[in-house]
Structure 1
Amino acid sequence: MRVPQPTISHPVQVWDGTEMLECVSIIPEAPDVASFCFQSPTGALFSYVPGQFLTLELPVPGGPLYRTYTISSSPSRPMSVSVTVKAQKGSIGTRWMLDNLQPGMRIRASAPAGTFSSHHHPSEKYLFISAGSGITPMISMTTWMFDLGRPADVVFVNCARRPSEIIFRQRLEHMASRFPEIDLKFVVEETDRYQPWTGYQGTFNQLMLGLMAPDYLEREVFCCGPEPFMQAVREALTGLGFPMERYHQESFHPSLAEEAANPVEGDVVPDEAAPAEVAFALSGVTQTCAETDTILATARTAGLNIPSGCTFGVCGTCKIKKVSGQVHMVHNGGITDEDIEAGYVLACCSHPIGKVEVEV
Structure 2
Amino acid sequence: MKKPRLNWAAEPWSDDELLECAMAVPETEDTYSFTFRAPSGAWFDYQPGQFITLDLPVDPARGPKGNIQRTYTISSSPSRPLSISVTVKAQPASIGTRWMLDNLKPGMRIKAYGPAGIFSSHRHPARKYLFISAGSGITPMMSMTTWAWDSGEMPDIVFVHAARRPSDIIFRERLQHFANRVPGLQLRLTVEEPDPFRAWPGYMGRLNQIMLGLMAPDYLEREVFCCGPEPFMQSVRDLLNALGYDMDHYHQESFGAPVATEADAPVIDDVVPDEDARSQIRFAASDVVAACAETDTVLAVAKRAGLNIPSGCTFGLCGTCKVRKLSGEVHMVHNGGISDEDIAEGWILACCSNPMGRVEIDV
Using the size of structure 1 for normalisation, the TM-score is 0.68
The separation in 2 between residues aligned to 1:215 and 1:183, in whole angstroms, is 13
- The DSSP-based 3-state class of the residue aligned with 2:195 is coil
The separation in 2 between residues aligned to 1:186 and 1:116, in whole angstroms, is 22
- The DSSP-based 3-state class of the residue aligned with 2:251 is strand
Equivalent position of 1:219 in the other structure = 222
Cα displacement (A) at 1:12: 2.3
Equivalent position of 1:357 in the other structure = none
Cα displacement (A) at 1:314: 3.3
| Counterpart code for 2:206 | T
- Partners of 1:25 and 1:103 within 8 A in 2: yes
Tell me whether 1:81 sits opposite 2:84 in the alignment.
yes
Equivalent position of 2:264 in the other structure = 331
- The DSSP-based 3-state class of the residue aligned with 2:180 is helix
1:244-283 pair list within 5 angstroms:
244-251=247-254
Cα displacement (A) at 1:78: 0.4
- Partners of 1:186 and 1:199 within 8 A in 2: yes
Equivalent position of 2:111 in the other structure = 108
1:175-190 pair list within 5 angstroms:
175-190=178-193
Equivalent position of 1:346 in the other structure = none
- The DSSP-based 3-state class of the residue aligned with 1:193 is coil
The separation in 2 between residues aligned to 1:96 and 1:315, in whole angstroms, is 24
The separation in 1 between residues aligned to 2:159 and 2:109, in whole angstroms, is 34
The separation in 2 between residues aligned to 1:91 and 1:315, in whole angstroms, is 22
Cα displacement (A) at 1:198: 1.0
Cα displacement (A) at 1:151: 3.4
Equivalent position of 1:47 in the other structure = 45
Equivalent position of 2:19 in the other structure = 21
1:278-317 pair list within 5 angstroms:
314-315=259-260
Tell me whether 1:168 sits opposite 2:113 in the alignment.
no
Cα displacement (A) at 1:150: 1.2
Cα displacement (A) at 1:16: 1.1
Cα displacement (A) at 1:66: 0.4
Equivalent position of 2:54 in the other structure = 56
The separation in 1 between residues aligned to 2:45 and 2:112, in whole angstroms, is 14
Larger radius of gyration: 2
Equivalent position of 1:31 in the other structure = 29
Cα displacement (A) at 1:252: 5.3
Cα displacement (A) at 1:53: 0.3
Aligned to 2:99, which of 88, 96, 99?
96
Unaligned regions of 5+ residues in structure 2, if any? Answer: 1-7, 267-363
Percentage of identical aligned residues = 63
The separation in 1 between residues aligned to 2:109 and 2:209, in whole angstroms, is 45
Tell me whether 1:208 sits opposite 2:201 in the alignment.
no
CA-to-aligned-CA distance 1:302-350 (integer Å, 9 cap, x gap): xxxxxxxx6xx9358xxxxxxxxxxxxx7338xxxxxxxxxxxxxxxxx
- The DSSP-based 3-state class of the residue aligned with 2:115 is coil
| Counterpart code for 1:184 | L
Aligned to 2:128, which of 113, 125, 134?
125
| Counterpart code for 1:38 | F
| Counterpart code for 1:19 | E
Using the size of structure 2 for normalisation, the TM-score is 0.68
The separation in 2 between residues aligned to 1:252 and 1:194, in whole angstroms, is 31
The separation in 1 between residues aligned to 2:136 and 2:255, in whole angstroms, is 13
Query: Which portions of structure 1, spanning 4 or more consecutive aligned residues, are displaced by more than 4 angstroms?
Result: none
| Counterpart code for 2:57 | P
Equivalent position of 2:198 in the other structure = 195
Aligned to 1:150, which of 150, 153, 159?
153
The separation in 1 between residues aligned to 2:40 and 2:138, in whole angstroms, is 30
Unaligned regions of 5+ residues in structure 1, if any? Answer: 1-9, 254-309, 317-329, 334-360
- The DSSP-based 3-state class of the residue aligned with 1:179 is coil
- The DSSP-based 3-state class of the residue aligned with 1:94 is helix
| Counterpart code for 1:137 | P
| Counterpart code for 1:80 | S
Aligned to 1:238, which of 234, 238, 241?
241
Cα displacement (A) at 1:13: 1.2
The separation in 2 between residues aligned to 1:34 and 1:183, in whole angstroms, is 25
- Partners of 2:253 and 2:259 within 8 A in 1: no
